């Protein structure tokens, strides 16, 4: 599908469902790669070395969001133009976004380069034998920042055209290389700097492939390579508030690791980060759904706000139905799972952390939708103001709890912030967009969470009790979701596609 197509159907229900599935499947291979690779990396690098590697992954992910909100703004405005059929000025919009992203990337290079020595020798409690290699790694990592930021803009182009098939065709192998790349490097070297070189190379490969597909879908990109000064102010005004969320939001997401590394030890970062990585991986489910809904809601919010609201509630519902059983299983079998995966020490240190973070993940997953809806409505300032206000309080809370309770305290702080964030975002979205939340659904979710906590009181009864609980609870949850959460049209939709799948497999 190219931009010349005049009747772009970017909001069809089947298309959105298919693209959400693409987004979820696109994370399967990286997740499997992480499960396979992390024990190997811990064994080869040790807890301290792996703790440093998690910081490298964190810095890479953090600076991918430091793009002035350009990718988010591009998705919003490009989706609106596609929804109106206004295609002529799209190349100007794209090139202006890429130019701003590259300039922001150069600032990122400067920031990491200037801070590399301080991070390696002063900020983190890194063993002296690793400090020089870590410093070199941060210098090398800085090169990837413009590439990573431009990749987010290129990906926004594909997402605006609802080409999530291509996005995930690229994301699956490149995301897998984030974990498999270091394992492959270990065959030749255990130096962290060599591992970082492989990570930078994978980002460069991602950029080349994504650029190729963007040009295929928007061929006029190469024929109209020029900037539009008026778009710069538009990006900066809309993206400025998103930038605040993009800086403060991930900072609060990963702040606990920084505090653990400075207050306790870099080894404790490894114990905490493994549980945290599992939970962050679960966020691909709401991320996958809201990633598809954001451009679709942007295309219809103006002319058809009721359809946008329908998408909003559907996203919340599908996320809860999909994620809750996974969270329940992780919560119940946290101890056994960590023991089987990483051994006794990680199980001993990380079980409570994983259980607490699982609760926080379920709460946090529901916040994706009011956050995206506020951006779609042109009010990115509201989430940004919320993050600015709550960040110093979260810093104090995390510092106090980590000092007193260690990594369990970090998990408690993270869950508390997730709950506060979610409640306030729903209030903001409801007030700004005149959304009325069904009281029955609020009670439903509250009672389900209450049952979730009630079950947790009996987890010490042993493995057989846990298996029995899941064997009874999960089927009941499935029936409950089918009868009470899905409506008749949604049940008919599921049955239709299940029947099609059965017929195709039978033939």
pLDDT in tens, 33-80: 888 888 888 888 777 777 777 777 776 666 666 676 788 788 877 877
Indicate the SS3 state at residue 66.
coil
Residue 212 confidence (pLDDT): 93
Residue 115 confidence (pLDDT): 74
Average pLDDT over residues 462-474: 75
At 504, the pLDDT band (50, 70, 90 cuts) reads low
User: What CA–CA distance (Å, rounded) separates 252 from 57?
Assistant: 16
Collect all residues with Cβ–Cβ distance below 8 Å to 42 and sequence separation of at least 6: 50, 270, 342
Mean pLDDT check: name the lowest of 209-218, 275-284, 446-455, 482-491: 446-455
H or E segment and range at residue 5: none
User: What CA–CA distance (Å, rounded) separates 49 from 192?
Assistant: 8
Collect all residues with Cβ–Cβ distance below 8 Å to 228 and sequence separation of at least 6: 89, 92, 93, 96
CB neighbour burial string for 262-299, b if at least 16 within 10 angstroms, e if fewer:
bbbbbbbbbbbbbbbbbbbebbbbbbbbbbbbbbbbbb
| 237-251, 409-423, 484-498: range with highest mean pLDDT | 409-423
User: What CA–CA distance (Å, rounded) separates 469 from 210?
Assistant: 45
Let me know the angle formed at the C-alpha of 29 by 166 and 35, rounded to the nearest 5 degrees: 155
Indicate the SS3 state at residue 208.
helix
The CA-atom distances, in angstroms, between 261 and each of 206, 253, 300, 351, 416 are 31, 15, 46, 19, 21
User: What CA–CA distance (Å, rounded) separates 463 from 461?
Assistant: 7
Do residues 321 and 485 touch, judged by C-beta distance below 8 A? Answer: yes
Residue 1 confidence (pLDDT): 42
Work out the number of other CB atoms within 10 angstroms of the CB of residue 463: 11
At 6, the pLDDT band (50, 70, 90 cuts) reads very low
Average pLDDT over residues 432-443: 67
Q: Identify the DSSP state of 438.
A: P
User: What CA–CA distance (Å, rounded) separates 109 from 444?
Assistant: 48
Let me know the angle formed at the C-alpha of 252 by 319 and 38, rounded to the nearest 5 degrees: 70
Mean pLDDT check: name the lowest of 76-80, 88-92, 96-100, 441-445: 441-445
Residue 275 has pLDDT above 60, yes or no: yes
Residue 438 confidence (pLDDT): 64
Residue 501 confidence (pLDDT): 54
Residue 299 has pLDDT above 80, yes or no: no
Q: Crossing angle for the helix pair 90-118 and 28-64, nearest 10 degrees? A: 80
Residue 116 has pLDDT above 50, yes or no: yes
Residue 303 confidence (pLDDT): 64
- Give the start-to-end residue ranges of the domains of the chain: 12-227, 242-498
Closest listed residue to residue 477, CA positions, set 440, 443, 452, 441:
452
Chain Cα centroid distance, residue 11: 23
Let me know the angle formed at the C-alpha of 161 by 160 and 163, rounded to the nearest 5 degrees: 110
Residue 7 confidence (pLDDT): 40
Cα atoms found within 13 Å of the Cα of residue 15, Cβ hemisphere only: 15
Average pLDDT over residues 340-361: 83
At 432, the pLDDT band (50, 70, 90 cuts) reads confident
Q: If you count them, how many residues does the chain have?
A: 507
Chain Cα centroid distance, residue 2: 28
Mean pLDDT of the chain: 77
- C-alpha R_g of the chain: 23
Model confidence pLDDT, tens digit, residues 16-26: 667 777 777 77
Do residues 257 and 55 touch, judged by C-beta distance below 8 A? Answer: yes
At 136, the pLDDT band (50, 70, 90 cuts) reads confident
Higher pLDDT, 115 or 370: 370
User: What CA–CA distance (Å, rounded) separates 146 from 507?
Assistant: 50
Higher pLDDT, 122 or 212: 212
Collect all residues with Cβ–Cβ distance below 8 Å to 240 and sequence separation of at least 6: 68, 69
For residue 63, give both structure tokens. 């600076």
Model confidence pLDDT, tens digit, residues 382-392: 888 888 888 88
Residue 3 confidence (pLDDT): 45
User: What CA–CA distance (Å, rounded) separates 298 from 71?
Assistant: 14
**pTM greater than the 0.85 cutoff:** no
Do residues 5 and 90 touch, judged by C-beta distance below 8 A? Answer: no
Cα atoms found within 13 Å of the Cα of residue 30, Cβ hemisphere only: 21
Do residues 149 and 66 touch, judged by C-beta distance below 8 A? Answer: yes
For residue 306, give both structure tokens. 């009721």
Residue 348 confidence (pLDDT): 81
Do residues 34 and 284 touch, judged by C-beta distance below 8 A? Answer: no
Q: Crossing angle for the helix pair 28-64 and 192-217, nearest 10 degrees? A: 90
């Amino acid at each position: 599908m190219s931009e010349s197509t005049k009747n772009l159907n970017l909001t069809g229900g089947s298309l959105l469902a298919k693209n959400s599935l693409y987004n979820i499947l696109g994370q399967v291979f990286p997740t499997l790669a992480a499960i396979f690779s992390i024990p190997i990396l811990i064994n080869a690098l040790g807890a301290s070395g792996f703790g440093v590697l998690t910081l490298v992954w964190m810095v890479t992910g953090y600076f991918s969001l430091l793009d002035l909100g350009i990718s988010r703004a591009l998705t919003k405005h490009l989706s609106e133009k596609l929804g109106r059929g206004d295609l002529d000025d799209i190349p100007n919009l794209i090139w202006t976004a890429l130019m701003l992203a590259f300039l922001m990337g150069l600032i990122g290079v400067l920031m990491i380069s200037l801070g590399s020595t301080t991070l390696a020798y002063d900020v983190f409690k890194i063993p002296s034998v690793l400090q020089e290699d870590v410093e070199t790694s941060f210098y090398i990592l800085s090169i990837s920042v413009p590439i990573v930021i431009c990749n987010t803009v290129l990906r926004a182009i594909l997402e605006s055209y609802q080409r999530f098939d291509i996005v995930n065709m690229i994301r699956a192998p490149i995301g897998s290389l984030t974990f498999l790349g270091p394992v492959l490097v270990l065959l030749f070297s255990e130096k962290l700097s060599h591992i970082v070189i492989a990570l930078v190379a994978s980002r460069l490969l991602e950029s080349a492939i994504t650029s190729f597909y963007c040009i295929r879908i928007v061929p006029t990109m190469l024929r109209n390579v020029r900037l539009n000064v008026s778009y710069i102010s538009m990006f900066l005004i809309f993206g400025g508030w998103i930038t605040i969320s993009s800086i403060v939001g991930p900072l609060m997401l990963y702040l606990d690791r920084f505090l653990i590394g400075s207050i306790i030890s870099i080894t404790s970062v490894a114990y905490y980060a493994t549980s945290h990585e599992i939970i962050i991986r679960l966020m691909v489910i709401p991320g996958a759904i809201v990633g598809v809904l954001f451009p679709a809601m942007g295309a219809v919010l103006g002319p058809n706000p009721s359809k946008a609201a329908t998408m909003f509630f559907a996203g919340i519902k599908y996320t809860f139905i999909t994620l809750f059983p996974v969270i329940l299983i992780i919560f119940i079998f946290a101890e056994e799972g960590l023991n089987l995966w990483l051994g006794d020490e990680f199980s001993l240190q990380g079980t409570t952390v994983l259980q607490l973070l699982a609760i926080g993940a379920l709460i946090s997953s529901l916040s994706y939708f009011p956050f995206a809806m506020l951006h779609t409505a042109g009010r990115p300032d509201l989430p940004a103001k919320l993050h600015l206000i709550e960040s110093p309080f979260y810093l104090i809370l995390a510092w106090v709890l980590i000092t007193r309770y260690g990594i369990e305290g970090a998990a408690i702080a993270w869950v508390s912030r997730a709950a506060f964030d979610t409640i306030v975002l729903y209030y903001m979205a409801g007030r700004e967009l005149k959304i009325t939340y069904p009281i029955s659904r609020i009670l439903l979710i509250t009672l389900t969470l209450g049952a979730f906590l009630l079950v947790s009181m009996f987890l010490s009864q042993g493995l057989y009790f846990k298996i029995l609980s899941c064997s009874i609870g999960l089927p009941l949850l499935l029936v409950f979701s089918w009868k009470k959460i899905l409506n008749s049209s949604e049940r008919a939709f599921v049955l239709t596609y299940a029947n099609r799948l059965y017929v195709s497999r039978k033939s």
